[in-house]
Structure 1
Amino acid sequence: SEIVIDEASLAGSIGVVVEAVVEGENATGRKRYQIVSRNAPNKRPDLATEEGRAKIGETIDALGEVFVGKVARNLGVAAEEVPEMGDHGGLRVGADAVKHGLAHRVGSLEALITELAKPAITTNPRIHTMTTVTTTAELRTALAAGTDPTTIEIAQASQPDLGAIRTEAATVERERIKGINALASKGFETEIEAAIDNGSSVEATALVLFKAAQDRGISLQGIKSDAQGVTG
């Protein structure tokens, strides 16, 4: 995560160099010949010529770009900044290397080992806020929002209150039966009993009774009067 450099250490030398030594023909009393195929004339450039040295230079430049790219990536800077940071292939010492961004701070190896051996103590510990989810849909939403998976807590979905559900259902059923019974009148006992047994609503039962009354030639007013115990 950081580069620590000793005050007397060197950083830099960012670049590529190839050194070629050409011996005179009389140095060993022998001549050396290199023969390459016609389709690969650049496999063995003639370093005695300007063209040959230029060809080798192209390869060196390509390697240098890779070198600079790796340094830029690891230091988090633009590749164009690296040559100047490294004094264009030169060397920077200790604090000067830190000043130009080649290292993060000055420190000795012994001091760094001692520092790393100590338990980590943070004055302002980072507090992770936990995100609680109970369904798969909530989990997907949290992850899509970029929530750190290590801060997601999956809670067990709450169990329904069966007692309350039963009580509510019984109340609804009583109200339904009372409503249907309120519609009861003489001659419609079969329809009323069927409505109670098959779970029909009060509204549906009223429609059934209305249609049955029409079929039998009984008026709506007559049904109401019967239901209310009114005698004519």
Structure 2
Amino acid sequence: METDERLEGAIDQILLARSTLELNTILRAIRSDFDVANIAYHAVSIPAHDARNAILIVTYEDAWVQRYTARDYFWVDPVIRAGVKGFLPLDWSEVDRSSPEAQQFFREADAHHVGREGMTLPVRGPAGERALFTVTSNLSGQEWKAKRLLCMRDFQILAHFLHNRAVELAGYRSKQAVLSVREVQCLERIATGRNVKQVASELGLSISAVNLYLRSARSKLKCASVAEAVVKATRVELL
């Protein structure tokens, strides 16, 4: 399967999910498609609902998930502690493992086949939500670096779509849709009669990126077409 087809197929599945449980099944399929060890989505903080660690959708072994939650490793995990403070992708090789607690934590994670290498992407939601999207691998360090660079864009896009759908399905998204800056920019230009290629040129984006922003806007507005999304966004004063 071509890279773009693989990504678009994954996004379509995420958007069609009807529950967080179904998202878990979809995440396992994405793990297989991208040939990685594990994928994890963790909504760390949802300020509007005063919720912490509200959503956890992972492909890890059940025994590790149970141990992690029972021991409240949310406060111990060095990846979470570093990830929630940053805005850039965090490779696990950059995480401070010097403390005895961190070393013990990673030994336990390794024993539960979490993955030798990993990357965590911080996600910032429109209502101030903070989430983390993690991908792990058992490739060698050099092989993982190459794969990480090759798939970074896809992982970032998946993180965005998964976060929005998970928060919505978990009941934490307000009824009024909140569009990102890029989604608004794309819709506004479509509203003035520009086509996707022209929008991409004006915003300095790829055509596939513009299509993804338009698809995301349609999903948030629950519209079947871009034209309908433009009309609805204008009506509710999002444009």
- Asked if these proteins are the same fold (TM beyond 0.5), I'd say no
What TM-score, normalized by structure 2, do the two folds share? 0.17
Structure richer in helix, relative to its length: 2
Greater strand content: 2
